[in-house]
């Protein structure tokens, strides 16, 4: 008996020595809104990553990949920075990922160079984030990316005078600038630009102001979450929809989980976005089937799950390229120019900006088989981040 124990430990020791470099655990720290008002989107990070792992296993070569989740909760730069530090120092993660809010991503960025850690941003949508560190890659979207097509659509749909109403923070200001620049370049006129505080709940006075401006179209951006619903309802109930004022937005305002709550009154609202849950492709069907198989609810799927799914793909590629070693430059180089077909359509990582190029779709809220969906009606192919790339 004693002998076999010795033998076993000897074997184990040999196993440890030979396996040390290659058969290890590589940790990926995911920072997302796991609780609080934006918990749905953190949950989607996890659903997307889980779907990728379920399909492709938790191993890259000999390396076992482990995802560790931390809760950013709200726009809270100090907390997010502390979480990132804890992940880097205590958990010794080799990659960081996730991040719902722009200010949080900005707070984490300075840590990346110091610790030689790549960050794959799975949501935060202000253009400048990728410029804060050469080790940042983004698989979500930016406001410029989704807004420029919206301004073009507004023009071709015959809008002449537009009122812009955006949330008063980074992405909102990006959206305002992108729309204004594009729409005015096409010959349209912006008659009102309102910046609404993030915690606005009563949009009645905003609607009154828009009405007084004489605009024929509203362009709006609010971060997906509780206030978007209030905005859409105020637009309908204050009679702007009935009097023919059109509403254009990025898809954040009409995320699929909110559509049943907006109700039939929302039918006809236009938005431009990079992902609709109803996107018709075999990749998307397989992706959604996988999430549902893992216990996710169809009605809770949002754009952050697909960004996380593609983000996990990018991280796997980085690990493969570096064979599990900490080499952020090589890891990031390996994914520059990477092309694949995502559940949202064909995408690629722009080698210059490290931001994802993707199709942006014009969608209309429609009722299909008794269910409200964002029906894609037009495709703008391979859109870059228009703030960083000119074509």
Partner 1 sequence: MQTILSIGLDGISYGMVLFIISIGLSIMMGLMRVVNLAHGAFAMIGGYLASYAMRDLGAGYALAIVVAVIGTIIISIPLEILLYRRIYRKSDALTQLLLTIGITFVIIGLANFIFGPTLKAIPLPNALSGPLDIGFRMIPTHRVFVIVCGVITALALWLLIDKTEFGIRLRASVDNSDMADSLGIRTEWIYAATFALAVGLGAFGGVVGAELLPIEPFYALRYMVTFLVVVSVGGAGSIAGALAASLLLGLADTTGKYLAPEYGEFFFYLAVIVIAFLFPRGLFGRAH
For the chain, helix, strand, coil in percent to 5 are 45, 25, 30
Interaction residues for partner 1, span 291-350 (CB under 8 A): 300
Q: Which stretches within 238-371 are classed as H helix?
A: 259-262, 282-293, 303-322, 328-335
Q: Which stretch binds partner 1 (CB under 8 A): 47-55, 131-139, 199-207, 283-291?
A: 199-207
How many residues sit close enough to partner 1 to count as binding (CB under 8 A)? 40
Q: How far apart are CA 198 and CA 101, in angstroms?
A: 13
DSSP state at residue 244 = T
Q: How far apart are CA 389 and CA 387, in angstroms?
A: 6
Provide long-range contacts, Cβ within 8 A and 24+ apart, for 6-11: none
Which string of x and - marks every residue 62-101 that binds partner 1 (by CB under 8 A)?
Answer: ----------------------------------------
**How open is the CA angle 122-127-133, to the nearest 5 degrees?**
75
DSSP state at residue 35 = S
Among 19, 37, 57, 61, binds partner 1 (CB under 8 A): 37
Closest CB to partner 1 among residues 18, 201: 201
Q: Which stretch binds partner 1 (CB under 8 A): 12-20, 204-212, 280-288, 327-335?
A: 204-212
Going by C-alpha positions, the residue among 347, 352, 335 that lies closest to residue 388 is: 352
Q: Does 214 bind partner 1 (CB under 8 A)?
A: no
Among 124, 177, 234, 277, binds partner 1 (CB under 8 A): 234
Q: How far apart are CA 255 and CA 289, in angstroms?
A: 19
Q: Does 191 bind partner 1 (CB under 8 A)?
A: no
Closest CB to partner 1 among residues 121, 224: 224
Which string of x and - marks every residue 259-298 that binds partner 1 (by CB under 8 A)?
Answer: -xx-x-x---------------------------------
- By DSSP bridging, strand 59-60 and strand 217-221 are unpaired
Q: Does 379 bind partner 1 (CB under 8 A)?
A: no
The sign of the CA dihedral 75, 311, 358, 44 is negative
Q: How far apart are CA 386 and CA 222, in angstroms?
A: 20
**How open is the CA angle 161-162-164, to the nearest 5 degrees?**
160
Among 31, 196, 332, 388, binds partner 1 (CB under 8 A): 196
Closest CB to partner 1 among residues 19, 36: 36
Q: Does 175 bind partner 1 (CB under 8 A)?
A: no
Among 19, 57, 214, 226, binds partner 1 (CB under 8 A): 226
Q: How far apart are CA 180 and CA 175, in angstroms?
A: 8
* Minimum gap (Å) between residue 374 Cβ and partner 1: 17
Q: Which stretch binds partner 1 (CB under 8 A): 111-119, 193-201, 326-334, 361-369?
A: 193-201
Q: Does 40 bind partner 1 (CB under 8 A)?
A: yes
Among 197, 268, 337, 351, binds partner 1 (CB under 8 A): 197
Judged by DSSP in three states, 357 sits in: strand
CB atoms within 10 A of CB 114: 10
Q: Which stretch binds partner 1 (CB under 8 A): 147-155, 207-215, 334-342, 367-375?
A: 207-215
Q: Does 205 bind partner 1 (CB under 8 A)?
A: yes
The token pair that represents 151 in the structure block: 């301004």
* Minimum gap (Å) between residue 242 Cβ and partner 1: 6
Question: In b/e form, how buried is each residue of 264-290, taking b as 16+ CB within 10 angstroms?
Answer: eebeebbbbbbbbbbbeeebbeebbeb
Q: Which stretch binds partner 1 (CB under 8 A): 47-55, 83-91, 189-197, 374-382?
A: 189-197
Among 57, 204, 214, 337, binds partner 1 (CB under 8 A): 204
* Minimum gap (Å) between residue 228 Cβ and partner 1: 9
Going by C-alpha positions, the residue among 155, 209, 158, 142 that lies closest to residue 184 is: 155
CB 173 within 8 A of CB 385: no
Closest CB to partner 1 among residues 202, 280: 202
The contact set with partner 1 (CB under 8 A) reads 35-40, 43, 168, 194-197, 199-202, 204-206, 208-209, 212, 226, 229-230, 233-234, 236-239, 242-243, 257-258, 260-261, 263, 265, 300
């Amino acid at each position: 008996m004693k002998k076999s124990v010795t033998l076993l430990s000897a074997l184990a020791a040999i196993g440890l020595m030979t396996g040390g470099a290659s058969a290890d655990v590589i940790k990926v720290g995911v920072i997302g809104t796991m609780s609080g008002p934006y918990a749905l989107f953190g949950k989607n990070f996890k659903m997307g990553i889980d779907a990728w792992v379920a399909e492709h296993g938790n191993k890259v070569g000999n390396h076992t990949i482990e995802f560790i989740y931390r809760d950013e909760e709200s726009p809270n730069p100090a907390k997010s920075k502390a979480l990132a530090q804890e992940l880097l120092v205590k958990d010794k993660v080799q990659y960081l990922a996730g991040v719902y809010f722009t200010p949080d991503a900005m707070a984490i960025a300075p840590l990346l160079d110091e610790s030689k850690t790549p960050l794959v941003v799975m949501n935060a949508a202000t253009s400048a984030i990728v410029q804060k560190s050469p080790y940042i890659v983004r698989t979500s979207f930016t406001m410029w990316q989704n807004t420029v097509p919206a301004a073009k659509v507004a023009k071709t749909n015959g809008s002449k005078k537009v009122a812009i109403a955006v949330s008063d923070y980074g992405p909102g200001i990006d959206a305002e600038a992108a729309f204004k620049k594009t729409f005015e370049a096409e010959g349209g006129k912006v008659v009102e630009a309102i910046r609404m505080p993030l915690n606005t709940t009563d949009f009645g006075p905003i609607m009154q102001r828009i009405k007084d401006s004489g605009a024929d179209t509203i362009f709006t951006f609010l971060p997906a979450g509780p206030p978007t619903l209030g905005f859409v309802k105020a637009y309908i109930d204050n009679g702007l929809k009935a009097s023919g004022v059109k509403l254009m937005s990025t898809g954040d305002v009409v995320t699929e989980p909110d559509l049943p709550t907006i109700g039939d009154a929302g039918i006809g609202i236009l938005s431009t976005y990079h992902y609709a849950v109803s996107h018709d492709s075999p990749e998307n069907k397989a992706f959604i089937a996988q999430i549902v198989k893992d216990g996710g609810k169809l009605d809770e799927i949002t754009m952050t799950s697909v960004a996380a799914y593609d983000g996990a793909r990018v991280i796997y590629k980085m690990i493969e390229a570096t064979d599990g070693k900490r080499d952020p430059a090589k890891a990031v180089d390996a994914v520059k120019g990477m092309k694949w077909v995502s559940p949202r359509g064909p995408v690629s990582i722009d080698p210059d900006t490290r931001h994802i190029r993707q199709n942006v779709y014009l969608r209309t809220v429609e009722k299909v088989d008794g269910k409200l969906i964002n029906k894609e009606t037009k495709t703008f192919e391979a859109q870059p981040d228009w703030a960083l790339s000119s074509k």
